[in-house]
Amino acid sequence: EAGVTQFPSHSVIEKGQTVTLRCDPISGHDNLYWYRRVMGKEIKFLLHFVKESKQDESGMPNNRFLAERTGGTYSTLKVQPAELEDSGVYFCASSLLGPGANVLTFGAGSRLTVL
Amino acid sequence: AQSVAQPEDQVNVAEGNPLTVKCTYSVSGNPYLFWYVQYPNRGLQFLLKYITGDNLVKGSYGFEAEFNKSQTSFHLKKPSALVSDSALYFCAVRDTFTGGGNKLTFGTGTQLKVEL
């Protein structure tokens, strides 16, 4: 079974530019999550999709961040315009609905560096 | 608000010795507790979880963790460490009151280094 795939693995951009991160969850996983780890600190929740619907976006830092999951398959996280404090590793995770929902499968992360 | 503390940034242990990675938590209700491991250039991998039942939980790769409600702890343990266990370990908690989603709160991570 293919795992959670994230692209790009590393992106370096200038402050003010736009970056779009993509996540392909495990096929059949309706739950999709975005998390972020900044500067070696704790991994923080950003938002949660169930299929194409945003279930909880309470962790999104501000309106410069936009997440979508068209068709309930892959998801994108756009940062526009990027600021220095947005640098970090963005993790995507997915899980089944129902009994398997508690165990998340994470991708390798997309490292974002804003200069 | 829920929180997780991993008091040690790094734990060093000799191969063959027992290892412990510490975790304490704070939640308003009953906790769901998890350990994940991250190897270099890989995603976080699920190790084990405590939802209910026996306080000693066994997981992947010979790891286990003990849920201690009175001390609000969920320390990760392994009787005999391997060099290949060297990785970054994250403890996480989910409050049972959060509803259907898995909005996990993670600790800052503990780097485990197992040396020959």
pLDDT confidence of residue B30: 84
Query: pLDDT digits over A43-78, tens only?
Result: 999 999 999 999 999 999 999 999 999 888 999 999
CA pair distance B57, A55, nearest whole angstrom: 30
- Give the CATH number for residue A34: 2.60.40.10
Query: Which member of B36, B49, B103 has the closest CB to residue A45?
Result: B103
- Closest-CA residue of A relative to B98 is A56
- Give the CATH number for residue B61: 2.60.40.10
Q: Give the number of domains in chain B.
A: 1
> Burial level of B56, CB count in 10 A (0-12/13-18/19+)?
exposed
For residue A25, the enclosing domain spans 5-114
For residue B38, the enclosing domain spans 3-115
Spell out the long-range contacts of A36-41 with Cβ–Cβ below 8 A and sequence spacing 24 or more: A36/A88, A36/A89, A36/A90, A36/A91, A37/A88, A37/A89, A37/A91, A37/A109, A38/A85, A38/A87, A38/A88, A39/A87, A39/A88, A40/B108, A40/B109, A41/B108
Query: pLDDT digits over B18-77, tens only?
Result: 999 999 999 888 889 999 999 988 889 999 999 888 899 999 999 999 999 999 999 999
- Closest-CA residue of B relative to A90 is B43
Which residues lie across from A53 on neighbouring strands?
A50
- Residue B18's identity, in one-letter code, is P
